[in-house]
Amino acid sequence: MGAVLGAFSVANWVSELVH
């Protein structure tokens, strides 16, 4: 579960970078 949450956090972080 933690890994999934971490992956989602990374995806959000990347989204912010791309934005």
The whole-number pLDDT of residue 4 equals 95
The whole-number pLDDT of residue 15 equals 96
How far is it, in rounded angstroms, from Cα 19 to Cα 3?
24
The whole-number pLDDT of residue 10 equals 97
The whole-number pLDDT of residue 11 equals 97
Length of the chain: 19
Question: Could you report the per-residue pLDDT of 1-19, keeping only the tens digit for each?
Answer: 799 999 999 999 999 999 8
Rounded to 5°, the CA angle 6-16-18 comes to 115
What pTM does this model have? 0.17
